[in-house]
Amino acid sequence: MRLDYTDFIECATLFWSSVCMNAIQFPSKLLTIAEVAEVLRIPKPRVYELVRTGVIPGVRILRQVRVHPDRLSEFFSRGGKPLSGSVKQ
């Protein structure tokens, strides 16, 4: 059986998409600033400040900021102290 170019591209696309999706573990849900503020029971501007300074690691997606729940749990387990290597210089 001989594969033509389109078969090859289709096969390669399927292979790499499955490899990439298996290699990247996406969190089930990233928390919004409002959700983090509610959990911490602090004002949203304070959460923005904690993320901006790196005390709580956040992810910027265009103009939105999100926090991974595992990193927030880590923050709790350290007693509210900055996570190692997370404070911006």
pTM above 0.75, yes or no: no
Q: Mean pLDDT, the chain, as a whole number?
A: 76
pLDDT value, residue 46: 94
Could you count the other beta carbons within 10 Å of the beta carbon of residue 80? 11
Q: Where are the domains of the chain?
A: 31-77
Average pLDDT over every residue of 47-70: 90
Average pLDDT on 20-27 reads 52
Look at residue 26 in the predicted model and tell me its pLDDT. 56
Rounded average pLDDT over 4-12: 61
- H helix runs in 1-89, sequence order: 5-23, 33-40, 44-52, 69-77
